[in-house]
Copies of this chain bind each other. A is one copy, B any other.
Amino acid sequence: MLEIFNHGKIRELRLARPPVNALNPELVKLLTQSLREAETECGALIISGREGIFSAGLDVVELMQLDRQGIADFWSAFFELLETVALSKIPIAAAITGHSPAGGAVVCLMCDYRVMSRGEYRIGLNETRVGLIIPPVLQNAMARLVGPKLAEQMLVAGTLIAPESAVKNGFVDALETGYEATIQHAIQWCEKLLSLPQHSMLGNRSIARAHFKQEFASNTPASVASFVDTWFSDETQKVIAALVAQLKSKG
């Protein structure tokens, strides 16, 4: 479900839940826990995926079986994961080794740096298309990457884009050709930061990312309730049921 590799002081957490690294409650908890362990044991982190897929996002097939409490618990746990990435004490690079829609893209937003593999892949927050509503903290994180206007337009339309567009508009920071090259790029990015005076690198980083602290603090229980309400609304259930049917017919 999650493979762990150490490259010197750099730890790579590789999502390994075939076929599409869908984020279910178990993977979300395991990833959060592994990130916390790494913070005290390592100097920098990489979150990577399988060849061709970083993560397809939330595991809607599994989530459709949960009741209101189950969905509330999952959404809280997913936000805990995102907060853990965003407020990590050490830098995190995303090695986006393939498709990364919706929840997969959201995890990438929270990292310090994003390198993506070239190919017929798509990345973006297409939640509108699956009937979901993206909370302010995540919308703001996207605005930091591509600017507030483009973030609004992409979020409203649920736009998925190719790697070349993503690097052009700032959604990702660099492209590489091939799986290994993508991971190597992330390792080199980490190594560069680890070669600097650590107290000032981390001190400047902490100030630059302090806004995340305030924004996650504003993610109240009310916003969890709001997600649960949306999830169980007739409109969203209908869209997700159609999506699940489509996924099952493929599988």
Residues of A within 8 A of B (CB): 91, 112-113, 127-136, 139, 144-145, 147-153, 155-158, 170, 173, 192-193, 196-201, 203-205, 207-210, 230, 233, 235-236, 239
Contact = CB atoms under 8 A, between A and B. Distances in A.
Contacts of A133: 200, 203-204, 207
A134 B151 CA distance: 25
A158 B200 CA distance: 10
A153 B239 CA distance: 38
Given A157-B192, A157-B196, A200-B236, A207 B135 contact: yes
Contact of A235 (B130, B199, B210): B199
14 contacts: A128-B201, A130-B197, A131-B199, A135-B207, A136-B207, A139-B208, A145-B149, A149-B170, A152-B209, A158-B196, A199-B230, A199-B233, A199-B235, A200-B236
Contacts of A203: 133, 230
A241 B216 CA distance: 40
Number of copies: 3
Given A136-B210, A204-B134, A156 B199 contact: no
The majority secondary structure among interface residues of chain A is: helix
A210 B143 CA distance: 14
A57 to B, nearest CB: 14
A192 to B, nearest CB: 7
Contacts of A150: 170
B149 A204 contact: no
Task: Give me the 6 closest cross-chain CB pairs, A-B, nearest first.
Answer: A152-B208, A133-B203, A199-B235, A156-B205, A144-B148, A128-B200
Contacts of A208: 139, 151-152, 155-156
Contacts of A204: 127-128, 133-134, 139, 155-156, 158
